[in-house]
Structure 1
Amino acid sequence: MKEKIHLQDLTLSWIEEDVDESNVGYDEESLEALLPHGPLSNLQQLSLNRYGGVKIPSGISSLSNLVKLSLDECNKCQHLPPLDQFHSLKTLSLYKMNDLEYISERENNGEFSDSSFLPSLEQLTIEECRNLKGWWQRQRDSVEEFHNHSLPSFPHLSYLHIWECPKLISLLQEAASESKDSNMKVKIHLQDLKLSWIKEDVDESDVGYDEELLVALLPHGPPSNLQELCLIRYGGVKLPSAISLLSNLVKLSLDDCNKCQHLPPLDQFHSLKTLSLYKMNDLEYISERENNGEFSDSSFLPSLEQLTIGYCRNLKGWWQRQRDSVEEFHNHSLPSFPHLSILQIRICPKLISLPLFPYLEKLELHKCSLKPLEQTLRMEVINTATPKNLTSIAATSTSSSSSLAASSFIPLSKLKSMSIWNMEETLPKELMCNLISLQHLDIENCCGPLPLSRHLTALQNLRVVGSKEVDLTNDGDEMEWHGLQSLRKLNFSYLPNLATLPVGIQHLTSLQTLEIFNCPSLLAIPEWICNLNSLQTLQILDCPILSRRCEREAGEDWSKIAHIPHLLIDRWRTYSYDLELNQTF
C-alpha cells in the first residue's frame, strides 16, 4: 500500500468487537501499514470507521493532498494529528469519538493567522463527541486569557454542524460569550449553521445559558452570508436580536425549542424562503408587534415559499394582539404572503389567525382550526392591476369583462393539493368554489358532510380515510359529484359506518380507479357501476360482506364487476389502521 501513490480514495472499516487492552496498538499498526506514505501521495479522501486505536499514526500528516477526512465511531481515539497541516482539506467530519477531548494537542498561543489556519476548509461536522471540550488541548477558559490569545478563524468555512457535543458547547460559551472578537463572529463565509443541544433538564436560574451561547456562535454582520440556520432543542426563552442581522437568510428551522417564547421580527428577512417551527410549546405569538395595517402584501416576507408549523400547542396567532372579531378583522385587514406556495399546520389547536395565503399551491391541516383557511377563502378578489392599468381600463369604453378578469385573482385558485386530517370543524361547501385548480384532496378522520363542490372541476384524486362520522350518503350531494368530471382515482378507507356507496359516483365519467379498503358495513356493489365506462381498476380489501359478494363467478355481485380489466378482491387480507393513530402525533 505504501507504493500506491495513485490511490485517491481510501475507506477502511473495522468490525465492532471488544478489544483486549493489551492489544490496543493493533489497529494503529494496521493503519500505519495500509496508509500510502510520502509527499507524492495523491490520496484525497480518507474515511476510517470503528478504528480502535488510541491515536492516528503520524504518517497521516504526509497526506498533503487530502481533501476529505472522516472519522466515524473511533471511540478509543484520544489523539489526532495536527489538522492545521492539511492545507487542502475541505471537509472534516468527526462522529461518535467518545474518548476524544481535544482536536489538537498544540496550545493556541496566537501563532495562527486567519489565512493559514485550515485555509481550504469549507465543511465541518462534529456529532456525538460527548467528551470533546475544545479544539486545543490547553484551551484557556478565562475571559482575560481569551482576550490575550484570540482564536483564529476558518477563512472559508461555509457549513458548520455541531450535534450533541455538550462539553464542546459549554467551552465555546465560556470563552466566547464575553468577547466581541470571537472567531465565530467574523465568519462571513459561513452559509449553513446547524446546532443541536442535548435534551436535559435545565435549571431555571441558568435559563440564559443557551441565549449567551447562541450569541457567541452566530456570525454577525453585515456582511453575513449565512443562508441556512437550524436550531434543535435550543433552551433559551428568546432568540438573540443578532439573528435579525442575517439579511441573507433563506431557511430558518426551529425544532423542539420548547422554552422559546419570543422570536425576532421575521418580516425583516426579505430573502427567507423556508420557515419551520416545530415543537415550540411556550410560543404563543410569532411576532410581538401588533398588526395595525402597516404591512403591504409586497413587503411582508416577500420571498417566503414554504411555511411549516407543527406541534406548537399554545400558538394562538402570528401577532401578539391579533384582533379576532369580524368587525376588527375588516378594519385591520391581514397582510398576505405574496409568494407562499406550501403551508403545513399540524397539531396547533389554538392557532386561529395567520397572514393570508391566497397564492398557495399545497395545503396540509392536521388537528387545528379551520379559521386561517376560512379567512383566506373569504378574501375579496385580488386586483393584480397597477393603478396605472386600472386607469387605462376605466378610460377605455371598449374594455370588456375579460380585461377586468385578467387583472384579478381569486384567492386559492392556484391550490393543487389539500390534506385535512383530524378536524373537528367542517369546511363550508360554499367556500370550496374558489378551488378551481385543486387536483388532490385528502380527508382523514374528519366529521360532517364531505366538502365537495361542482366547482372542483380539476380534481383528479379524492381520498376519504378513517372517519366514523363523515357523511357520504346525503342524496343532495349527487349534483356535487356530477361536477367532478376530471376525477380519476377515488379511495374510501376505514369507514366503519359506510353501508352504501354515494349515488353521485355514477356520474364520474373519467374515474379509472376505485379503491375500497376496510369498510366492513358496505353491503353491495350498486347496479350503476356499469355506467363508469372509464373504470379500469377496482380494489376491495378487508370488506368481508362485499368481498364475498364479489367472488369470481360465484358472488352475487360478480356480474356487475366482471367487465372491469383489473380486479383485486381480497377478503382475507387485514390492515391494522388505528383511527386514533393521528391523534397521538
Structure 2
Amino acid sequence: MVWETSHGEPFLKTCMSKFKCIKMLDLSYSNFDTLPNSISNLKHLRLFNLSWNERIKKLPNSICKLFHLQRLSLFKCEGFENLPKEFGNLISLRNLCITTKQKALTGIGCLESLRILRIYECENLEFLLQGTQSLTTLRSLAIGGCRSLETLAPSMKQLPSLEHLMIFDCERLNLLDGNGEDHVPGLGNLRVLMLGKLPKLEALPVCSLTSLNRLVIRECPQLIERCKTTIGEDWHKISHVSKIYIDGFKTPEN
C-alpha cells in the first residue's frame, strides 16, 4: 500500500498510529520539516520515499528502528542536513538515494546489506564516504551533480562486489588524488563504467578492469584523448572491453 500526501503532520501522526502494518509509504513532494518519532511504529515498512521534500532537514533517530526497511529515497531533499547517528542500524537497507547539505557522508559505511547507492546533487559534498569497509555487498554506485567533490575516500577501494559505477557532473573530481594514489573503488568485478562531465579527470584508474564489458565516456576531454583507439595512453587498460562509447560514438570492436 502506497500513501501519497501533502496534508501535513496531522496525517502523518494518524498514519503512524492506525496503519502500523503498511509496507510502502510515499511522501514525495510533501512539505514536512520533520517526521514524528512514532515513525518507528511502522515496523513492517519496506519502502519509504521522501523525494522532492525541500523542507525536511533531518530524520528522527527512531527511524533507525525500522529493521525491515529495504529502500529509502531522499532524492532532491535539498535542505537535508545529516543522517541520524544510528543510521547504521538499518540492517536490511538495500537501496539508498540521497541529496544532502553535508560536506561528508557519515553513517553509511555500516550498512552491510546495501546494494544500490545513489548520491545526487549534493552541492556541499567534499568527501564521499568514511569507513566503507562494510559495504561488501554494494553492486551499484552512482554519483552525480556533486560539484564540490574533490576526491573519493581511500577506503572505497574495498568494494569487492561493485559491478556498476557511474560518475557525472562533478567538475572538481579527479579519480586520482594529488599523490597519484588510486582512490577508486576496488574494480575487479566492475562490468559497467560510465563517466561524464568530469573536466579534471586526466586518466583511468591504475587498477584491474578485467571484468569490464561496457565503458561510456562523455565530455571528459582529457580522458577521451588518452582513450583513443590504439594510440591513447590508457588504451591498454580498455582494449579488451567489448563495448566502448566515446561522446556517443561506439569504437570499433576488436
Relative to the length of structure 2, the TM-score reads 0.78
Match of 2:124 in 1: 314
Match of 1:81 in 2: none
CA distance in 1, matches of 2:128, 2:237: 31
Match of 1:247 in 2: 67
CA distance in 1, matches of 2:44, 2:113: 17
Q: Out of 412, 423, 429, which is 2:187 matched to?
A: 412
CA distance in 2, matches of 1:372, 1:271: 33
Q: Where does the alignment leave 5 or more consecutive residues of structure 2 unmatched?
A: 228-233
One-letter amino acid matched to 2:72: L
Is 1:341 the counterpart of 2:139? The answer is: yes
Match of 1:434 in 2: 208
Greater RCO, 1 or 2 (C-alpha within 8 Å, sep 6+): 2
> Are the structure 2 counterparts of residues 359 and 344 from structure 1 closer, same or farther at C-alpha, using a change threshold of 3 Å?
same
Q: Out of 223, 226, 231, which is 1:450 matched to?
A: 226
SS at match of 2:44: coil
Q: Out of 449, 459, 480, which is 2:241 matched to?
A: 459
One-letter amino acid matched to 1:364: M
> Are the structure 2 counterparts of residues 462 and 371 from structure 1 closer, same or farther at C-alpha, using a change threshold of 3 Å?
closer
Question: Once the 2 structures are TM-superposed, how far is the Cα of residue 237 of structure 1 from its aligned partner?
Answer: 1.9
Aligned positions of 1:122-161 closer than 5 A: 159-161=1-3
Listed one character per residue, the Cα deviations across residues 41-93 of structure 1 (whole Å, up to 9, x for unaligned) are xxxxxxxxxxxxxxxxxxxxxxxxxxxxxxxxxxxxxxxxxxxxxxxxxxxxx
SS at match of 1:335: helix
Match of 1:362 in 2: 164
CA distance in 1, matches of 2:74, 2:162: 23
Match of 1:375 in 2: 183
Question: Once the 2 structures are TM-superposed, how far is the Cα of residue 421 of structure 1 from its aligned partner?
Answer: 0.4
Question: Once the 2 structures are TM-superposed, how far is the Cα of residue 186 of structure 1 from its aligned partner?
Answer: 5.9
SS at match of 2:184: helix
Say whether the 8 Å CA contact 1:358–1:376 is kept in structure 2. no
What is the aligned-residue RMSD (CA, Å)? 3.0
Say whether the 8 Å CA contact 1:195–1:232 is kept in structure 2. yes
Structure 1 runs of 4+ off > 6 angstroms? none
User: Greater CA radius of gyration, 1 or 2?
Assistant: 1
Is 1:258 the counterpart of 2:33? The answer is: no
CA distance in 2, matches of 1:416, 1:306: 15
Listed one character per residue, the Cα deviations across residues 526-553 of structure 1 (whole Å, up to 9, x for unaligned) are xxxxxxxxxxxxxxxxxxxxxxxxxxxx
One-letter amino acid matched to 1:161: W
Q: Out of 28, 33, 44, which is 1:225 matched to?
A: 44
Q: How many residue pairs end up in the alignment?
A: 234
Say whether the 8 Å CA contact 2:37–2:63 is kept in structure 1. no
One-letter amino acid matched to 1:268: N
CA distance in 2, matches of 1:350, 1:336: 25
Q: Out of 192, 197, 203, which is 2:24 matched to?
A: 192
CA distance in 2, matches of 1:435, 1:363: 12
More helix by share: 1
Question: Once the 2 structures are TM-superposed, how far is the Cα of residue 362 of structure 1 from its aligned partner?
Answer: 0.8
Say whether the 8 Å CA contact 1:345–1:365 is kept in structure 2. yes
Listed one character per residue, the Cα deviations across residues 233-288 of structure 1 (whole Å, up to 9, x for unaligned) are 3312211111111111100101221111011243222111111014x3x233332x
